[in-house]
Amino acid sequence: MSNPKKDIRALSKEELRRFFEAHGDKAFRGNQVYEWLWNKAAKTFDNMTNLSKATREMLENNFVINHIAVDKMQRSIDGTIKNAIKLHDNLIVESVMIPSKNRTTACVSSQVGCSLDCNFCATAKLKRMRNLNADEIYDQVVEIDKQSKLYHNHRLSNIVFMGMGEPLLNYKNVISAIEKITSPEGLGMASKRITLSTVGIPKMIMKMADEQVKFNLAVSLHSAIDEVRSKLMPINDKNNLASLLESLQYWYEKTQRRITFEYVVFKNHNDRQVDINALIDYCKKIPSKVNLITYNTIGEEEFQTADKQVIQKYVKHLEQNGIVVNIRRSRGDDIDAACGQLANKMED
């Protein structure tokens, strides 16, 4: 039987203020509850110690806090942590904490499963069950911030929306979560430390540009040749490279922030000179940089990591053409926590 009580975190601060006024209390009580819910990430009404017992009971009678729980946690030999996150309806998503020398990055999910069929990605094999609510996205960040403090003695420094799901297909909730994460009343993180990664949905990229969002944009490109990209990412049939480029140019015009292209080099798919040349041409049309990513196997024979010489060839030619390129080494692949491996497989 479904719970008739509303999740209190679906209410705005103004709605909370009105709730208290309607129940004969002072409006500022709503501000106090809002602070407990977001800034202090309270999981129960009993945690709200500056409220009277009667007030807490009234909240308990009217609302629930559908907080997440870390169901299982795995630690990699490189320090990466993968969390299996249990949601209030018992569905599971995964989030990852990636530590480096002076910072910690949270890789968070935006959907349960994924509706896109990228052929090389384990998450794509899962059926999309539902979108995550803003508070469920926020909670992942809170948990990873705690883990960063516990294991590395410093706060979480960066967030990437590169976990399960396509963030732009859950636009409203993702934007709402980012607003809470960056708000001084929430976690107070700087927008420039947040990166949203998308397969590239032109109309949504243009919408973000129109709304003048302050976070960074990364696009999973993997090929700058339509025929090759469509084989890797079927969404390219609907949103081809030309329409994607148009939306990215619009993004840059509005925000003045360059794009990061995420690019996995696969053996026998995009490892030819013609693939390198196409990427260079594409990058020259929009201020951008390239992250070359090592492919993480998901047991599909068709997809294998390209030879190191090919990746070095990419680097050499991109740099010769004045394009900033980084090689992103995989983290957490021993626990299936690396890019493209999130598929709710946790070892007991």
**Annotated catalytic sites, by residue?**
94, 339
DSSP string, 44-86: SGGG-TTS-HHHHHHHHHHEE----EEEEEEE-TTS-EEEEEE
CA distances, 242 to each of 225, 234, 285 (Å): 10, 15, 11
Q: At a CB cut-off of 8 Å and minimum separation 6, what does 284 contact?
A: 321, 323
User: Cβ–Cβ contacts within 10 Å for residue 85, how many?
Assistant: 26
Whole-number Å distance between alpha carbons of 165 and 128: 8
Q: At a CB cut-off of 8 Å and minimum separation 6, what does 331 contact?
A: 76, 78, 80, 98, 337, 338
In 3D space, the residue among 297, 220, 306, 324 whose CA is nearest the CA of residue 265 turns out to be: 306
| Six token digits for residue 176 | 């709402």
CA distances, 238 to each of 91, 108, 131, 233, 285 (Å): 30, 26, 22, 10, 21
CB 311 within 8 A of CB 329: no
In 3D space, the residue among 152, 166, 169, 226 whose CA is nearest the CA of residue 198 turns out to be: 166
Q: At a CB cut-off of 8 Å and minimum separation 6, what does 177 contact?
A: 134, 135, 137, 138, 141
